[in-house]
Amino acid sequence: MEQLSYKSHLNKTLRLAYPVMLSQLGHILVGIVDSIMVGQIGPSALAASAFANNFLGVFLMFGIGVSYGITPLVAQADGKSDSTKIIRLLRHGIILCSLVGLLLFLILYGTSSLFPLMNQPEEVVALGTPYFIIISSSLIPLMIFQNFRQFAEGLSITKPTMYITIAANLINVLLNYLLIYGKFGFPELGLNGAGWATFISRVLMAIALGVFVFRFKQFHAYRPAFNLSKIKVGLFRPILKLGVPSGIQFVFEVGAFAMASIMMGWLGTKPLAAHQIAISLVALSYMMATGIAAASTVRIGNQIGARDGYNLQRVGNTSFLMSLVFMACCALVFVVFNKFFPTLYIQDKEVIQIASALIIVAGFFQLSDGVQVVGLGVLRGMSDVKAPTVITLIAYWGIAIPASYCLGFVFDLGPEGIWYGLLIGLTVAALSLFFRFRKLAAKKALDFMK
């Protein structure tokens, strides 16, 4: 097998990663634009948006994680040129992701009745509950979109998803303007308007990518997958075997940030609003880093399918390096513009001051955040999900959350203390996942030589 140089791996991974990164950018910009436009209404609406989105994010990321089980399986089958298996993966992915989206919505709808018990400001619960129900329903079309997306990415086709996501984001901005503020005869729905804009844009995303996969000439061989009558229950198992642990990994991480959001609510409406500003910026860099992770999953999966241990190690090392460089640039931007970014969301001076301090802390944990997300991606490409799940559980819930509580409340460091705890947990996860990859990649290389 050809032993490619690091430069060649960098070019291959970058070509695959940048459309995914831009897709993720468009995906997360939906939430950021919502926060900026809702912030013009006032701190209460922004805090309500923060509470609803952080709570929803735990379930959303679980669903996305389940869909991630499709990509490495498609990539490995593609590495073996097994089109029959690819057809089965697409067919069962359509049904599985649709059912997961529906199940998540039903769970979230029922959970919304518990909001008054979470010790949040009354105005936050009152504004956030109806908005939460609306955006929860958008998980159904989002999961359908995710199925087609992960299938296409598994075949190293990433640009169509990028174009569709960017177009949907522009539609979301327009609908926000019309429905939040009641422009051009549309009803003035406030925060709920942002929710309906998100729902409509996600429906359009699902339809557009589904039509593309069905009609695109390069996918014609896989059209039999749309015959959903040929279902075998046992074929859901391989997707779930990878997807559920991947979803749980995201739940542990995003859940830790959601718990941090709840702790911010204990400090008041303004710290919670400031937390939402900072977390939306962190989510921006994080989701773009997941583009590198997604590319690494596909490329690692291809090497596994081809039994190429030498390039397997180089693909992983290249992905970690790309992540470090990208997140270092993000960290620099956060530190330099920490006082500017909050002014894009809100004009309340106290909120801006708190958010500026949190953005500095966010700058420090960019490197750890980038390494840990790529670590999960490369290990997922190797079908290694159980040990990473344990690592994320310990790092976020065994270390990050207790540290956040102690630093924020016991040592009275307030909002910054809560974020220092998150920094500690992310760093532990990053180091553990990096060394896990190094160990497994070396073992695979030896196994493939036998």
The pLDDT-based confidence of 325 (bands split at 50, 70, 90) is very high
pLDDT digits (tens, 9 = 90+) for 37-49: 887 887 788 788 8
Averaged pLDDT for residues 343-365? 91
The three-state secondary structure class of 308 is coil
Averaged pLDDT for residues 331-360? 92
Q: Residue 450: is its pLDDT beyond 80? A: no
Mean pLDDT over the full length of the chain:
89
Direct distance between the N- and C-terminal alpha carbons of the chain, in angstroms, rounded to an integer: 14
Q: Which of 116-130, 240-254, 348-362 has the lowest mean pLDDT?
A: 116-130
Q: State which of 76-90, 308-322, 429-443 shows the largest mean pLDDT.
A: 429-443
Contact partners, residue 97, CB within 8 Å, separation at least 6: 63, 66, 67, 143, 144, 146, 147
CA atoms within 13 A on the CB side of 273: 28
Averaged pLDDT for residues 334-363? 92
The pLDDT-based confidence of 250 (bands split at 50, 70, 90) is confident
The pLDDT-based confidence of 26 (bands split at 50, 70, 90) is confident
**Per-residue confidence (pLDDT) for residue 61, from 0 to 100:** 84
Q: Which of 66-70, 252-256, 402-406 has the lowest mean pLDDT?
A: 252-256
DSSP state letter for 383:
T
Q: What's the alpha-carbon Rg for the chain, to the nearest Å? A: 21
> Sign of dihedral through CA atoms 247, 249, 254, 259?
positive
- Rounded to whole angstroms, the Cα distance separating 263 from 239 reads 35
**Per-residue confidence (pLDDT) for residue 18, from 0 to 100:** 83
Averaged pLDDT for residues 233-260? 88
Task: Check residue 119 and give left, alpha or beta (phi > 0: left; psi -120 to 50: alpha).
Answer: left
The pLDDT-based confidence of 262 (bands split at 50, 70, 90) is confident
- Rounded to whole angstroms, the Cα distance separating 313 from 9 reads 11
Q: Residue 1: is its pLDDT beyond 60? A: no
Contact partners, residue 291, CB within 8 Å, separation at least 6: 17, 18, 19, 20, 21, 22, 23, 24, 25
Cβ atoms 35, 345 nearer than 8 A: yes
| C-alpha dist (Å) from residue 388 to 343, 372, 404, 427 | 38, 10, 22, 14
The pLDDT-based confidence of 333 (bands split at 50, 70, 90) is very high
> Sign of dihedral through CA atoms 325, 26, 57, 190?
positive
Output the DSSP codes for 225-251.
GG-TT---GGGHHHHHHHHHHHHHHHH
Output the DSSP codes for 366-381.
HHHHHHHHHHHHHHHH
**Per-residue confidence (pLDDT) for residue 384, from 0 to 100:** 93
The pLDDT-based confidence of 137 (bands split at 50, 70, 90) is very high
The pLDDT-based confidence of 93 (bands split at 50, 70, 90) is very high
**Per-residue confidence (pLDDT) for residue 320, from 0 to 100:** 96
The pLDDT-based confidence of 344 (bands split at 50, 70, 90) is confident
pLDDT digits (tens, 9 = 90+) for 158-215: 889 889 988 998 898 899 999 999 999 898 888 899 999 999 999 999 999 999 999 9
- Rounded to whole angstroms, the Cα distance separating 103 from 244 reads 14
**CB burial of residue 5 (10 Å; 0-12, 13-18, 19+):** exposed
Q: Residue 354: is its pLDDT beyond 60? A: yes
- Rounded to whole angstroms, the Cα distance separating 107 from 383 reads 29
Per-residue b or e along 132-166, where b marks 16 or more CB atoms closer than 10 Å to that residue's CB: bbbbbbbbbbbbbbbbbbbbbbbbbbbebbbbbbb
Q: Residue 148: is its pLDDT beyond 90? A: yes
- Rounded to whole angstroms, the Cα distance separating 106 from 279 reads 26
Amino acid (1-letter code) at residue 439 = K
Q: Residue 334: is its pLDDT beyond 90? A: yes
Percent of the chain with pLDDT over 90: 49
Cβ atoms 350, 409 nearer than 8 A: no
**CB burial of residue 237 (10 Å; 0-12, 13-18, 19+):** exposed
| C-alpha dist (Å) from residue 121 to 41, 110, 115, 268, 276 | 17, 21, 10, 7, 15
